[in-house]
């Protein structure tokens, strides 16, 4: 659009002029105006939309101010140099070095976030795991930790705290893996700027809070629930499980529905339903697992 801006403003002035000099004989808008506008519109359509540009290429961009505001926005006191280091990707640093050599400048060597990434990764996964294992058994805690520390989740968080525009990298648009790595590096930078407790608080507020409104039993998905349940109950001294078909409805149609209950020693362990007996048995096993783990956590709390 910027290509045609001057032309459009000239045109607009012409149109305004024409409207103001209105006589009884002449047309208020000249005959050439509409075809010209149409032609300009056609050319604009032909060229297509302008490619997206990184925010840092705009005229109104001050990297120092952006980095300062980043820390303030999140309510954290970052060491400016460490934070800047955490935002520089290795590829970017390499290319800058090569450019400096070519032009013969003596720039100070740029340090990148390569070492900060594994450090931050370690802090995030260990803290999330310990926090979750306070409340959930190990299998679930592992699955939920994997979910929270996945590239998709971390890049989502990174882009929503405003890292997308700040990262110094060669690629545009910024890849998810880069966002994820930078988030890890920022956590490590926070630990180095302040202490581990502050970094953990940061993870608590931004990563763990993503579990709000989600069900862990939907995130954790055991492949074979019935086998898992038998193993689980075996550890707890229950050797025999008796699946019973409690109800069935419309069994030979597309709307078939079976209800299976799992019993042990005349006690109901779990109940579930599905469009076939096998599916119903699996849902019943999932229900039983949830009931077992509910008791498990309360037992832990009682201790």
Partner 1 sequence: MSNSHLFLKPGFIKVPLQNGVGRYVGQLQRVVLKFCKSSGSSRGMREFIEADLVDFAKNNPGIVVYLKPRRHRTAIIKAEYLNGDIQWLNCRNFTKDEITKWIDLLKTQQKNSTGMRIRKLWHTDNPSIQGPWTPFTFKDPKLNLAKFPDEELSTPDHLNRTSQDELVELFKQQKLEELEKCENVERINATN
Interface with partner 1 (CB under 8 A): 55, 59-62, 65-66, 68-69, 72-75, 156-157, 159-162, 164, 204-206, 208-210, 212-213, 246-247, 249-250, 257, 259, 273
Nearer CB in complex with partner 1: 72/236: 72
User: CB of 257: closest distance to partner 1 in angstroms?
Assistant: 5
Nearer CB in complex with partner 1: 79/91: 79
User: CB of 132: closest distance to partner 1 in angstroms?
Assistant: 15
Q: CB within 8 A of 145, min separation 6: which ones?
A: 125, 128, 129, 132
Residues forming a β-bridge with 243: 262
Torsion sign (Cα): 46, 47, 53, 59? negative
User: CB of 253: closest distance to partner 1 in angstroms?
Assistant: 12
Nearer CB in complex with partner 1: 74/95: 74
Beta carbons of 148 and 135 less than 8 angstroms apart: no
Nearer CB in complex with partner 1: 93/144: 144
User: CB of 70: closest distance to partner 1 in angstroms?
Assistant: 8
Nearer CB in complex with partner 1: 43/73: 73
Provide the 8-state DSSP code for 107.
P
208: nearest Cα among 134, 292, 299: 134
Characterize 184-195 residue by residue with b for buried, 16 or more Cβ atoms within 10 angstroms of its Cβ, and e for exposed. Answer: bbbbbbbbbbbe
User: Could you give phi then psi for residue 261, rounded to 5 degrees?
Assistant: -115, 140
Nearer CB in complex with partner 1: 48/213: 213
Q: For 32-60, give the DSSP string.
A: THHHHHHHHHHHHHHH-SPPP--GGGSSS
User: CB of 218: closest distance to partner 1 in angstroms?
Assistant: 11
Nearer CB in complex with partner 1: 208/277: 208
User: CB of 25: closest distance to partner 1 in angstroms?
Assistant: 34
User: CB of 201: closest distance to partner 1 in angstroms?
Assistant: 9
Distance CA 111, CA 114 (A): 9
Distance CA 293, CA 140 (A): 10
Torsion sign (Cα): 214, 187, 200, 73? negative
């Amino acid at each position: 659009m910027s290509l045609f801006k001057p032309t459009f403003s000239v045109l607009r002035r012409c149109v305004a002029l024409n409207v103001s000099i209105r006589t009884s004989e002449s047309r208020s808008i000249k005959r050439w105006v509409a075809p010209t506008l149409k032609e300009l519109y056609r050319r604009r359509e032909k060229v297509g939309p302008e490619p997206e540009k990184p925010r840092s290429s705009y005229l109104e961009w001050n990297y120092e101010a952006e980095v300062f505001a980043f820390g303030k926005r999140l309510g954290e006191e970052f060491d400016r140099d460490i934070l800047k280091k955490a935002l520089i990707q290795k590829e970017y640093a390499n290319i800058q070095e090569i450019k400096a050599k070519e032009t013969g400048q003596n720039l100070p060597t740029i340090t990148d976030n390569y070492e900060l990434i594994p450090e931050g990764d370690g802090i995030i996964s260990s803290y999330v795991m310990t926090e979750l294992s306070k409340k959930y058994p190990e299998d679930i805690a592992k699955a939920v930790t994997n979910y929270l520390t996945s590239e998709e989740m971390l890049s989502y968080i990174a882009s929503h705290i405003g890292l997308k525009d700040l990262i110094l990298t060669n690629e545009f648009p910024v890849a998810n893996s880069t966002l994820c790595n930078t988030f890890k590096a920022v956590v490590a930078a926070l630990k180095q700027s302040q202490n581990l407790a502050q970094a953990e608080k940061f993870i608590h507020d931004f990563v763990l809070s993503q579990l709000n409104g989600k069900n862990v039993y939907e995130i954790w998905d055991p492949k074979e629930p019935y086998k898992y349940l038998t193993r689980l109950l075996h550890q707890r001294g229950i050797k025999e499980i008796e699946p019973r078909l409690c109800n069935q409805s419309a069994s030979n149609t597309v709307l078939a529905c079976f209800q299976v209950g799992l019993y042990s020693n005349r006690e109901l362990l779990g109940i579930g339903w599905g469009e076939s007996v096998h599916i119903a048995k699996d849902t019943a096993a999932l229900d039983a697992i949830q009931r077992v783990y509910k008791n498990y956590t309360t037992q832990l709390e009682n201790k």
